Amino acid sequence: MKSAPWYKQFWPWFLIILPGSVVIASMVTIKIATDNPVSLVAEDYYKEGKAINQDLSRITLARNLGIVFEIKQQGDQLVFIQHGGQGNGEAIKVEFHHTTLAKHDQQMMLTQNGDGNYQMATDKVVEGKWQVMIDSFDGRWRLQQKLTLPLTESVWFR
């Protein structure tokens, strides 16, 4: 009795497909890893650690000056309303840092409108969790807090 050639049998193909699928899966994994680099680890952690100490003194100054902001979402706008401190019409710098995707980080200067509020279009930031920092235009003081967009109620920065 003559047996069928090897390429017509089940077991050789089964044994070839297993390592072949691993090779394909590893190539897909390498492609995903190279297209999405990890942005959570700081390259210069010592320098960033020193910057954190400066931020703490700026946060303390904001508290001492009594600066408080309320953030509301009105349609496609974020409205920043100052409720404390000196309201002399200075511009503020607002930074949005995404918790995991650094490519979505935003930084902008806002000036007061006729109502004395600061407005920003929400099309510049995607939905999700954000670390938000509000700085004076000259960098003297800072307020920071985490928030999730879109906002369902007012958020207070103290």
123 in the same domain as 144: yes
Asked if residue 125 and residue 102 are part of one domain, the reply reads: yes
Is residue 15 domain-shared with residue 65, that is, in the same domain? no
Instruction: Tell whether 51 and 94 lie within a shared domain.
Output: yes
Q: Is-above-0.85 flag for pTM?
A: no
Whether residue 95 sits in one domain with residue 26: no
Q: Would you say residue 5 lies in a domain?
A: no
One-character DSSP codes across 126-153:
-SEEEEEEEEETTSS-EEEEEEEESPSS
pLDDT at res. 154: 86
**46-67: pLDDT as tens digits:** 666 666 666 688 888 888 888 8
Inside any domain, residue 4:
no
| 98 and 22 belong to one structural domain | no
Q: Are residues 86 and 130 in the same domain?
A: yes
93 vs 67: CA distance, rounded Å: 14
Domains identified in the chain, total number: 2
Establish if 87 belongs to a structural domain. Answer: yes
Same-domain pairing of 29 and 79:
no
Output the domain CATH number for residue 146. 2.60.40
How many helices (H) and strands (E) are present in the chain, helices listed first?
A: 2, 8
Going by their DSSP bridges, the two strands 92-98 and 118-121 should be labelled as unpaired
Q: For residue 3, is pLDDT > 90?
A: no
* Token reading at 21: 């699928």
Residue pLDDT, tens place only, 6-21: 889 999 999 999 999 9
- pLDDT above 80 (res 89): no
Q: Are residues 72 and 49 in the same domain?
A: yes
Query: What pLDDT digit, counting tens, does each position of 95-139 carry?
Result: 988 877 778 888 899 988 888 889 988 777 778 888 999 998 888
With respect to residue 3, please indicate whether it lies within any of the assigned structural domains. Answer: no
**Per-residue pLDDT reduced to its tens digit, 136-152:** 888 888 898 888 888 88
If asked whether residues 92 and 63 sit together in one domain, one would say yes
Domain hosting 75: range is 45-157
